[in-house]
Amino acid sequence: MSAYKLDLTGLRANVTALLEKYTLIAPARIDGKLDYLEITDAEQIVLTNELPYKSPKDVVLPRVERLIRFADGTAAEAQEIKPILLLGVKPCDAQALRVLDEVFAGDRGRFKDNFYINRRTALTIIGAGCTEAKPGCFCFARGIDKAFSSECDGFLHFDEDGFVFEPLSDKGAGLFFGTETAAPMRTQKPEENLALHCGEDEVFSVMPWDIYAEGCIGCGTCTYICPTCHCFVLRDAEDKGSVDRTRVWDSCMYPNFTLHAGGHNPRAQKKDRYRQRVLHKYLYIPENYGMVSCTGCGRCIRSCPGGINIMNTVYDIKERLEDSRK
Amino acid sequence: MSTTNPYLPIRAEILEVRQETQSDTQDVKTYKLKLDEPFDYRPGQFVEFSVAGIGESTFGFASSPLIRDAMEFTIKRAGYVTENIHMLSAGATVWIRGPFGNCFPLGDLEGNDLFYVAGGLGLAPLRPMIDYVFDPAYRGKYGKINMFMAARTPGDFIFAYDFEKWSKMPDTTFYRTIDGKVDSWTEDDKNFVGFPHTLIEKIPFDLEKTIAVLCGPPMMIKALSSSFVALGMSPERIYTTLEMRMTCGVGKCGKCNIGHKYVCIDGPVFNMAELGEMPNEY
């Protein structure tokens, strides 16, 4: 496919046209912070090297979403979907959506999640790269190219005069117009060196999880801010004679998450919960879905009040594994 | 692969509520349901059972899948959802989605003797298999059967009304035990006092031909399984069904995994060789 060169004015004109057709979500400032926000004016969009402080996962898994409505003795699907254009998604976050696709809609999962698929089908993703890593970023160690992701419907490359839009799917074709040009050369993907290749028995009861988890205060921020964390709970709420069953984000960092009604808790201590978070990303999802569920975005590192650093944890595990195999 | 929406529940009417336990707390009841759209299931599977406006909980089937017109669930009052279920009576509407999970490998177990050991409420998820195997169409496919029921007190046995029927089944020996001596309990060669893991050696069975099927509190399962292994039984021949807190039932919500295995889709039925390879987090 051809690519299209456009400057900032051209980009904004395109965005204004797209606002007619889509709910548009893009990096924008709120109280000085950059976040993926719903845009009503093309001038709000900020496409720079800066990473939005929260992930865009709520476009496919809203924090609170009505799934089922019970009324008059029936239960019916009650999801409300509108077509969303997610613009300026960073390569780490685009990779995270790929992981969620695999878990909720992929062929390796034994059930498909209709509600996720409905949202995902109505979503178009346009990526935009980073020019350099920020403190806390470790996408390079995860083998993710900071400048480009093919997990998008189209990509906005930075160019000396502005941008080059490269369509990557039928969904992405025709979204941005400009002067026709050649698609930019692909940059070399960094080599993935932060992954675990071991059995569960080599790490589960062996690694010093209590030391890794020492700083954890159980606030769950890491899971809420993470682009791939997707644990949830279903909650019922009654309103004027009908009942809504909603899906709400949950967190494996909370003690109640696994607490049985009878009082038994398989993950009773914080080391058990931190171990679950790390191994879910680095061993269990790789085993079940063939990909690591951490994209190196560094948000959990930047936002942890206890100073926990998942990159350091996994590097330490790798080092201990290597030592034990000598 | 499911093609329908796994989260959309089916309406069910409570046909009958039976008080199970007769001890002070009276905290276990069985609910017999008629579903608007009945579905097939296999012994060992489970459902998400809900009261609209209150929420869902996970329960194993407690009746034989060969009963086509109704299904039963035996529920202990233990938390918010179950307290609300316990307030319901015949005629009330509840919601069911499922069936979820694997099942007891009944085909693979044909030709073997069976040794059921159930502690308290742990008998509920075994009842579909027990009644399925006792069905005249299937009974000939299995050998001798030992049934060993454990409860805290005589009033804590569930399905006590089935015990006489079960004990008279062909080639079946029926044993019971309670945790501690009480006046109303007479000990003999089939009625014991004490925990099951200390008593199974008193029960004759063929080590080579027997499959043990256990369900009860986690401590009981772990102790019993060690006792069977100590007697020389291979861990592949010891089956249990696990219970975990769950939301989705379909391998997404992240609560019930033990390592990379999800109790909701890889279980709830595991043999002890499989559990031995999984992290000890259950």
SS (H, E, C) chain B: CCCCCCCCCEEEEEEEEEECCCCCCCCEEEEEEEECCCCCCCCCCEEEEEECCCEEEEEECCCCCCCCCCEEEEEECCCHHHHHHHCCCCCCEEEEEEEECCCCCHHHHCCCEEEEEEEHHHHHHHHHHHHHHHCCCCHHHCCCEEEEEEECCHHHCCCHHHHHHHHCCCCEEEEEEECCCCCCCCCCCCEEECCHHHCHHHCCCCCCCEEEEEECCHHHHHHHHHHHHHCCCCHHHEEEECCCCCCCCCCCCCCCEECCEECCCCCCEEEHHHHHHCCCCC
Minimal-distance CA residue of chain B relative to A277: B254
Q: For residues A119 and A60, is the Cβ–Cβ distance under 8 A?
A: yes
Q: For residues A261 and B82, is the Cβ–Cβ distance under 8 A?
A: yes
Lookup: tokens for B31: 């609910």
Strand B172-178 relative to strand B191-193: parallel, antiparallel, unpaired?
Answer: parallel
Instruction: Report chain A's mean pLDDT, rounded to a whole number.
Output: 95
CA distance A316 to A301: 15
What domains are defined for chain B? 10-100 (2.40.30.10), 106-251 (3.40.50.80)
Determine, for residues A114 and B7 on separate chains, whether the beta-carbon distance falls below 8 Å. Answer: yes
Q: For residues A236 and A244, is the Cβ–Cβ distance under 8 A?
A: yes
Tell me the count of A-B CB pairs closer than 8 A: 130
Interface test with B, best of A69, A111, A253, A283 (most B CBs within 10 A): A111
pTM: 0.94
This complex has an ipTM of: 0.92
So what's the pLDDT on residue A262?
A: 85
Q: For residues A153 and A124, is the Cβ–Cβ distance under 8 A?
A: yes
Q: Which residues in chain B touch residue A233, judged by CB atoms under 8 angstroms apart? A: 247, 253
So what's the pLDDT on residue A239?
A: 84
Q: Which of A103, A266, A283 sits opposite B281 (nearest CB)?
A: A266
Residue B1 scores a pLDDT above 80:
no
Determine, for residues A262 and B78 on separate chains, whether the beta-carbon distance falls below 8 Å. Answer: yes
Q: Which of A235, A259, A284 sits opposite B55 (nearest CB)?
A: A235
CA distance A157 to A51: 15
So what's the pLDDT on residue B77?
A: 94
Torsion of CA B191, B195, B198, B204, to 10 degrees: 30
Minimal-distance CA residue of chain A relative to B218: A264
Determine, for residues B11 and A74 on separate chains, whether the beta-carbon distance falls below 8 Å. Answer: yes
Q: For residues A66 and A312, is the Cβ–Cβ distance under 8 A?
A: no
Instruction: Report chain B's mean pLDDT, rounded to a whole number.
Output: 95
Strand A84-89 relative to strand A74-77: parallel, antiparallel, unpaired?
Answer: unpaired
Torsion of CA A116, A121, A124, A129, to 10 degrees: 50
Determine, for residues A110 and B6 on separate chains, whether the beta-carbon distance falls below 8 Å. Answer: no
SS3 A75: strand
Residue B73 scores a pLDDT above 90:
yes
Determine, for residues A250 and B254 on separate chains, whether the beta-carbon distance falls below 8 Å. Answer: yes
Q: Which residues in chain B touch residue A272, judged by CB atoms under 8 angstroms apart? A: 281
Q: How far is CA A179 from the centre of its chain?
A: 32
Residue B2 scores a pLDDT above 70:
no
So what's the pLDDT on residue A1?
A: 64
Q: For residues B70 and B33, is the Cβ–Cβ distance under 8 A?
A: yes
Per-residue pLDDT of chain A (326 residues; tens, 9 = 90+): 689 999 999 999 999 999 999 999 999 999 999 999 999 999 999 999 999 999 999 999 999 999 999 999 999 999 999 999 999 999 999 999 999 999 999 999 889 999 999 999 999 999 999 999 999 999 999 999 999 999 999 999 998 889 999 999 999 999 999 999 998 888 889 999 899 999 999 999 999 999 999 999 999 999 999 999 999 999 999 988 899 999 999 999 999 999 998 888 999 999 999 999 999 999 999 999 999 999 999 999 999 999 999 999 999 999 999 999 88
SS3 A34: strand
